[in-house]
Amino acid sequence: MSQDDKKKRAAEAAIEYIEADMIVGVGTGSTVNHFIDALAGIKGKIDGAVSSSEASTARMKAHGIRVYDLNATGGLSVYVDGADESNQHLHLIKGGGGALTREKIVAGASEKFICICDDTKLVPYLGKFPLPIEVIPMARSFVARELAKHGGRPVWREGFITDNGNVILDVHDMEIMDPVALENELNKIPGIVTVGIFANRPADVLILGTDTGIKTIQ
User: Which residues are catalytically annotated?
Assistant: 103
Chain positions 139 to 198 lying near ligand 5RP, rule: CB under 6 A, are: none
The correct pick among 24, 26, 28, 174 for binding ligand 5RP (CB under 6 A) is: 28
Nearer to ligand 5RP, 72 or 162 (CB): 162
CA dihedral 40, 132, 209, 39 (to 10 degrees): -10
Q: Segment contacting ligand 5RP (CB under 6 A): 70-78, 89-97, 138-146, 165-173?
A: 89-97
Q: For ligand 5RP, which residue of 13, 18, 55, 99 counts as binding (CB under 6 A)? A: 99
Closer residue to ligand 5RP, CB minimum distance, 85 or 146:
85
25 sits near ligand 5RP (criterion: CB under 6 A): no
**Separation of CA 168 from chain center:** 15
- Cα–Cα distance list, 55 to 33, 51, 61, 97, 98 (Å): 9, 9, 10, 10, 11
The alpha carbon of 182 is separated from its chain's Cα centroid by a whole number of angstroms, namely 18
The neighbour count for residue 108, using CB atoms within 10 Å, is: 15
Smallest distance, ligand 5RP to C-beta of residue 20, A = 26
CB 7 within 8 A of CB 31: yes
Closer CB to ligand 5RP, 12 or 81, in the complex: 81
Sign of CA dihedral 104, 198, 22, 31: positive
The answer to whether 24 contacts ligand 5RP (rule: CB under 6 A) is: no
Residues that bind ligand 5RP (CB under 6 A): 27-31, 81-84, 94-100, 103
